[in-house]
A and B are shown apart, each in its own frame.
Chain A
Amino acid sequence: MADVTTHEHAPHVHVTPLTTYFLVFFALAIGTILTVAASRFDLGMWNTPIALVIATIKAVLVILFFMHVIHSTRLTWVVIVASFLWLGVLFVLTFADYLTRVWKIY
């Protein structure tokens, strides 16, 4: 332990520019308007996927920029990716059961 710290290492501060925050905000607002607008039209089977895709894009924008994950450590990325992976397992395995009951006895 030759290199005993004589001063404290402050956290690495990455200050996001204001323009980034405001651009993300406007993208989220436009996404909300698009969600409402898309729900007003009968797009057949596409209404639900469109709403899901817009919501997912909005969530990714919040996670990357508002939650600063874009500048986070690899370990934080692993935790986040793993949590959504498990969420995927939860949905895929459950639907693999319910959606394949062709006799429609739920």
Chain B
Amino acid sequence: MSVVTNDPHAHHPFLQHHFEDLGQQHEASTLGMWMFLATEILFFGGVLCAYWIYRVMYPEAWAIGAAQQIWWLGAINTIVLIVSSLTMALAVRNAQLGRRMGTVYMLIATLFFGSIFLGVKAYEYAKHWQEGLFPGASFHWNEVPALAPKVQLFMTFYWTLTGLHALHMVIGAGLLLWFIWRAWKGHFGPEYYGPVEIMGLYWHFVDIVWIFLFPFLYLIHGAHHG
């Protein structure tokens, strides 16, 4: 969708009137997205700070809690998310190069891998639920009675952190559907790829959160014995 014209009154259909040109609009939206991500960094950071205080206080309970996780499912999901980040980056690249269907395919691939991640997560949640590892009245783990309340606290952090992360993934998947449609319509190209770039910023941020959650929740040393 290239607009080549010498008419001073004509402008790109997606140029908002309050911006001088597409370059300025692109820079402003990138900056705005990073402002939002700054709030997200502090949002997850706050929960992680509380997680670390309790981890220092109850190291044994944290190791036992991490041992309740199937570490290789977390490892597979980490790789799946990294692949989805690669396809997201390639979607942005295709948009920059004006490759319409290339953008569509890479966005579909990103949605596909994101869905696999959520599917694995749903399996893990169902398993934890059956094993009585959901905090509250249904919490059943009691192998070491003295540590049970602290293991329950670890599981509270586990559900909160992975739940907030999964919520971000679901929102990202919804956004991807919208972007696949827009890319299909040919909205994006070398002069207007900003929205795809910003979709990418969100997706990569969610990937980064998981990069930290994986070792924090699955790989505490002494945790997995088999």
Q: How many A residues touch B, CB cutoff 8 Å?
A: 58
Q: State which of A5, A8, A59, A79 has its C-beta within 8 Å of the C-beta of B211.
A: A59
Kindly list chain B residues whose C-beta atoms are within 8 Å of the C-beta of A12.
23
Q: State which of A28, A43, A63, A67 has its C-beta within 8 Å of the C-beta of B221.
A: A43
Report how far A15 CA is from B45 CA in the complex, Å: 32
Contact between chains at A66 and B85 (CB < 8 Å): yes
Report how far A16 CA is from B25 CA in the complex, Å: 21
B57 CB to closest chain A CB, in angstroms? 5
B8 within 8 A of A: yes
Chain A interface residues toward B at CB < 8 A: 4-13, 15-16, 18, 21-22, 24-25, 28-29, 32, 35-36, 39-40, 42-43, 47-48, 51-52, 54-55, 58-59, 62-63, 65-68, 72-73, 75-76, 79-80, 82-84, 86-87, 90-91, 94-95, 98-99, 106
16 contacts between A and B (CB under 8 A): A6-B8, A9-B24, A10-B191, A13-B190, A15-B96, A35-B215, A35-B219, A40-B224, A55-B214, A62-B208, A63-B208, A66-B85, A68-B197, A79-B35, A80-B38, A106-B53
Chain B interface residues toward A at CB < 8 A: 3, 5-6, 8, 11-12, 15, 20-27, 30-31, 34-35, 37-38, 41-42, 45-46, 49, 52-53, 56-57, 71, 75, 78-79, 82-83, 85-86, 88-90, 92-93, 96-97, 190-194, 197, 200-201, 204-205, 207-208, 211-212, 214-215, 219-224
